[in-house]
Amino acid sequence: MAKTPITFTLNDSEVALFADHGAALIDVLRRGVGDLTPKQGCAQGTCGACTVLIDGKPHLSCLTLAETVEGRRIDTVGGLANGRDLDVLQTTFMEGFAAQCGFCTAGMLLAAKSLLERVPNPDRAEVIEAISGNLCRCTGYEPIVDAILLAAAKMQGRAV
Amino acid sequence: MLSVETYQTMAEAAGAMTDRSRFLGGGTLVMRAVNYGDQSFDRIIRSRQIENSIRSESGGIRIGAGATMADILASREVSFLHQVARLIGGPAIRNMATVGGNLFAPHPYGDLATALLALDARVVMTNGQAEPMESFLAGRSHARNLVTAVIVPNVSETEFRFAKISRVKPKGVALLSVAAWLRRGDVRLAWGGMGPTPLRSKAAERALSSGGQLDEAGIAPALAICTQDLQPADDALATAWYRREVAPVHLKRLLLNGGRL
């Protein structure tokens, strides 16, 4: 099968590899690089489990042709923690039981991270809008929305 | 075996298109087809120069085919389309899905195409021709050229209304969508989800254009005939019968209350 050389930045590291013609970004990340944090759910743009940030904005890695990210910056949940220190969002998700089976969590965290970088102090409606492309079949969403609001408050240094 | 060909210009890409190829915009339709093993094409065609700007010009507002739904939401030039773009997909889809792609989105997708049909937009092709949305949609399954841009008239937010009816809140695919461009004596109505492509209700347009006020009595004749030019189908979302039953209800709400109950 024909291969295409691709280079991009993944969580602050430079990546160079060969992708199969027509391969989706998620396949390159999971099989090519070994970053298993993006999850393949529906493969049709409905569930958001494969969400990654491309140049800081949420994109669906299962619907992104791998070679279109040449030279761009990709962020996954694999790069969210700083060493052993979890990101604030990861901490509030954990403490607020915002993950059950965990399959949607990576996409939720990145959708939330993108929101909080644009809108540091969102209201509940803005949080719901930000994760509206991410399906969760376990939690009923309320703990996830609460965890994102709590993370926003903590990042703003507000008492809660 | 799938191959990907990347061309510098849209004209070169258009020259490479065959019946066995698909042009890649944002990927939300083409890559989905790839993921599901669609065997109707084996070549993906790309261009490095896809127009993605949104700018006013003498004949209206020109929206590049590569502009995304997020680009529309970020543009003040097309603020009247914000209500449409906001209802398409979630944030990630809106960062990817393009205006050009939406013109080809099969039922039940294509909410923006529905709005553009109501607004009598023109579709600019790589051969330089501009075609009205209506004839473009009728022939889109065998389009011989690529879309480079859409030209939409500059309308005020008060004369353009749009509603998307979904079963799943806050984000769900449209059971039907309806767009209205309300000018005195010249009303255009377009529906999504009510046929194989977005379609106009021409009989209802005539009734509204010649009628009086946008009140209950004034719109009643149009409501009675609003589905006669439509061809809804049975699908997993609803039956054709149901769509015909609820279409006048949603049109009434749109005309009387701007889509709200």
Segment A95-129, tens digit of pLDDT: 999 999 999 999 999 999 999 999 999 999 999 99
pLDDT at B152: 98
ipTM above 0.90, yes or no: yes
Residues 6+ apart with CB under 8 A from A13: none
Segment B205-243, tens digit of pLDDT: 999 998 778 899 999 999 999 999 999 999 999 999 999
> Within 13 Å and on the Cβ side, how many CA atoms surround B61?
21
* CATH number for B232: 3.30.390.50
Same domain, B123 and B175: no
Residues 6+ apart with CB under 8 A from B10: B47, B49, B50, B51, B126, B146, B148
Same domain, B175 and B197: yes
Same domain, B169 and B250: yes
* CATH number for B77: 3.30.465.10
- Count Cβ atoms below 10 Å from residue B69 Cβ, excluding itself: 29
The DSSP-derived string for B99-143 is HHHHTTPPTT--HHHHHHHHTT-EEEETTS-EEEHHHHHHTGGG-
Same domain, B165 and B252: yes
Segment B93-128, tens digit of pLDDT: 999 999 999 999 999 999 999 999 999 999 999 999
CA distance B54 to B186: 26
B27 CA: distance to closest CA in chain A (Å): 6
B135 CA: distance to closest CA in chain A (Å): 29
CA distance A24 to B31: 8
Residue at which a domain ends, from B117, B152, B187: B152
The domain in which residue B171 lies consists of 160-257
> Within 13 Å and on the Cβ side, how many CA atoms surround A93?
21
Same domain, B143 and B114: yes
Count how many residues are written for chain A: 160
Q: Confirm or reject contact between A126 and chain B (CB < 8 A).
A: no
Residue at which a domain ends, from B111, B135, B152: B152
Cβ separation A63–B31 shorter than 8 A: yes
Residue at which a domain ends, from B94, B117, B152: B152
Same domain, B167 and B224: yes
- Count Cβ atoms below 10 Å from residue B183 Cβ, excluding itself: 12
Cβ separation A129–B170 shorter than 8 A: yes
Domains of chain A: 3-79 (3.10.20.30), 88-155 (1.10.150.120)
Same domain, B134 and B92: yes
Name the residue in chain B with its Cα closest to that of A64.
B27
pLDDT at B243: 98
Average of per-residue pLDDT values in chain A: 96
Same domain, B58 and B130: yes
- For residue B43, give the 3-state DSSP assignment: strand
Name the residue in chain A with its Cα closest to that of B47.
A68
Local confidence band at A1 (pLDDT 50, 70, 90 cut-offs): low
Cβ separation B31–A24 shorter than 8 A: yes
* Count of domains for chain B: 3
